[in-house]
Amino acid sequence: MLNYTKYKRFETIKLNDRIWPDKEINKAPIWCSVDLRDGNQALINPMTVDEKIEFFKLLIKLGFKEIEVGFPSASQIEYDFLRRLVDENHIPDDVTVQVLTQARPHLIKKTFEALKDIKKAIVHIYNSTSVLQRDVVFNMSKEEIKKIAVEGTKLVKEYAGSFEGEILLEYSPESFTGTELEYAIEICDAVLDIWEANKENKVIINLPSTVQMDTPNVYADQVEWMCRNFKDRERVIVSVHPHNDRGTGVSDAELAMLAGADRVEGTLFGNGERTGNVDILTIAYNMFSHGINPELNIENVNEIIEVYERCVKIPVHVRHPYAGNLVFTAFSGSHQDAINKGIKKYKERHNNIWQVPYLPIDPSDLGREYEALVRINSQSGKGGIAFVMDHCYGFKIPKTMRKEFADVIQKISEGKGEVSPTEVKAAFDKEYLNLEIPFKLVKCRVSDISDNGCEEDTKVNVSIIHDGQEREIEGIGNGPIDAFKSALSRSSLINVKIIDYTEHALSTGSEAQAAAYVYMERNDTMKKTFGVGVDSNITRASIKSMISALNRLYHQ
């Protein structure tokens, strides 16, 4: 039995008058990618400098204006990477790079050496403030921990004073979620005072959920309490940096934004220590799905995945929100049918607002293909199979025919698992379009014999092969189908009745094809089935559909 009494909750504030639940997210935050530092340090095989350059260029292309590029004072490869960004002019004027450093004199000195010739940078200092870290890691008092933050700020301010470019300060009380809020605000306000922060000279105060310790609403309460209790909220850019230990990193970030956060630090696809950082792309796509501009260029998720997987060497999970290979698929028959009907209605209404069951976002907006929307297996229904045939191949299978063809596909899927659209079409051809036994059409001629308003005004002359013998038959009726049926009946080859018939164009243009569907019944056995014919001539298509149905009815 699990020894749950071994664990206890960290006691935080009770914010009974919280206002964040009544807020709505209506604009994008300031995004800061930490892929190249926080994400990179979590890799089994960290990125090379060349891979970092490629990843940095991807982040620029995606529209990130703040990018944490590393810890240049702690690693030579990160120092060299930053210098290459500078020396090779990879940093656009509108992008601010961010560097991390501990609040130690020699590390801060080397950090500023790495920043030489940069026009604008964020220097991010941090020290852990939580009860647990103070006790078991540092064995320091609150005053001693506070002094680290204050002295570090003084050093950064001193170096910034002689730096040719612009320096922004970011301070993180690391392990914020395990820190007493009154103590966290005391340290943060001390840092702000030393920096002489004001409305025109703001400091980024980052409130990291370094390790998730509670539900997202508790984190939101902590962020709102901090926003309320800064001595001067206007001199602060409130940033959050959620991790994902409890699996709620995205929720932490979204609720923190409701609680007053201006900025979000995270990574593409949530890469990071342990269970990862917050997934910036998921938050951005969530906003997009609510009609909010995420202010990132994320319309081609496949390209993002390709660069990410090559540089990071971690595959994107098939069920990853928005990006996974299977997130826009539907195996359930009822889901497939609803998607099929929803997309049809969306196109018919000519409405700009996307409303399709089971698809919160239009896959094409992310550069995804519709062909992957419906996947066919033994759990699939007739609606999904009809969707594949319509969307991939243009066949609008009649509703009454869908069960018949679905039974064919189900037998295939029960034996092999998933059936691809190509395999669905191959089965359709085999079952309906390529049948030549016992009947095969050789040629046909249709003529109009209208005279004095006679109802039977169409004559067909058809050459068919039946059981290996070619035969010429002729019939008259009130249309090509009726006339062909009459010809077959007069020759004593069949005894059937036609229950239903439909047709439609498969394509447009000079090589347009037509599809015809006929539903027939044998009078002797009461067996019923559909036949399908395709031809550039609709009359020939209708006759081919009858041949198809007859072969299904009479083939032993």
pLDDT recorded at residue 447: 85
Please give the pLDDT value at position 239: 98
Name the residue with higher pLDDT: 491 or 245. 245
Residues in contact with 140: Cβ distance below 8 Å, sequence separation at least 6, in sequence order: 134
The residue that leads in pLDDT, 483 or 236, is: 236
- What does the pLDDT read at residue 414? 87
Confidence of residue 281 (pLDDT cuts 50, 70, 90): very high
Give 516-520 contacts, CB < 8 A, sequence gap 24+: 516/541, 516/542, 516/544, 516/545, 517/397, 517/398, 517/401, 517/545, 518/481, 518/542, 518/545, 518/546, 518/548, 518/549, 519/398, 519/400, 519/401, 519/549, 520/496, 520/546, 520/549, 520/550, 520/553
Give residue-wise pLDDT tens across range 79-130. 999 999 999 999 999 999 999 998 888 899 999 999 999 999 999 999 999 9
More confident of the two residues 365 and 454: 365
Task: Look at residue 214 and give its three-state secondary structure.
Answer: coil
pLDDT at residue 225 above 60?
Answer: yes
Identify which of 499, 503, 451, 459 has the alpha carbon closest to the alpha carbon of residue 480: 459
Position 479 scores a pLDDT of 84
* pLDDT of res. 555: 83
What distance separates the 2 farthest-apart alpha carbons in the chain?
Answer: 111
Residue 72: burial class (beta carbons within 10 Å; 0-12, 13-18, 19+): buried
Q: What are phi and psi of 30, to 5 degrees?
A: -75, 120
User: Which one, of 362, 347, 346, lies nearest residue 288 by Cα?
Assistant: 362
Residue 556 has pLDDT above 80, yes or no: no
As a whole number, mean pLDDT of residues 473-482 equals 87
Counted residue by residue, the chain has a size of 556
Task: Report the percentage of the chain scoring pLDDT > 70.
Answer: 97
* Stretch (H or E) spanning 407: helix 399-416
Report whether pLDDT(68) > 80: yes
Q: Which of 136-150, 464-478, 540-554 has the lowest mean pLDDT?
A: 464-478
Which element (helix H / strand E) includes 287? helix 280-289
Given a cut of 90, whether residue 371 has pLDDT beyond it is: no
**370 falls in which pLDDT band (50, 70, 90)?**
low
Residue 210's pLDDT is: 94
- On whether the CB atoms of residues 359 and 339 are closer than 8 A, the answer is yes
Distance CA 258, CA 260 (A): 6
**pLDDT, position 351:** 84
User: What's the pLDDT tens digit per position in 428-470?
Assistant: 999 999 999 999 999 988 887 766 555 667 888 889 898 888 8
List, as one string, the DSSP characters of 98-161. Answer: EEEEES-HHHHHHHHHHTTT-SEEEEEEEEE--HHHIIIII---HHHHHHHHHHHHHHHHHHHH
The confidence score (pLDDT) of residue 2 equals: 87
The arithmetic mean of pLDDT across residues 260-287, rounded, is 97
Highest mean pLDDT among 1-10, 146-155, 508-517: 146-155
Tell me if residue 269 falls in helix, strand or coil: helix
**Residue scoring higher pLDDT (120 or 474):** 120
CATH architecture of the domain with residue range 333-432: Orthogonal Bundle (1.10)
Can you count the helices (H) and strands (E) in the chain? 16, 14
CATH number for region 439-554? 3.30.160.270
Average the pLDDT over 505-528 and give the result.
87
What band does 306 get if pLDDT is binned at 50, 70 and 90? Answer: very high
What 8-state DSSP symbol labels residue 21?
G
Q: Which residues contact 393 (CB under 8 A, 6 or more apart)?
A: 421, 425, 428
pLDDT of residue 192: 98
Structure tokens at 107: 């590390």
Confidence category of residue 512, pLDDT binned at 50, 70, 90: confident
* DSSP for residue 291: T
Which residue is associated with the tokens 């939101």? 220
Closest CA to 459 of 449, 472, 470, 469: 449
Q: What is the mean pLDDT of the chain?
A: 92
Average pLDDT over residues 485-497: 84
Burial of residue 260, with CB atoms counted within 10 A of its CB: 0-12 exposed, 13-18 middle, 19 or more buried: buried
Instruction: Average the pLDDT over 314-324 and give the result.
Output: 95
According to the model, what pLDDT value does residue 150 have?
A: 96
**Domain definitions of the chain by residue range:** 28-312, 333-432, 439-554
Q: What is the CATH number of domain 28-312?
A: 3.20.20.70
Mean of the pLDDT values across residues 391-410? 93
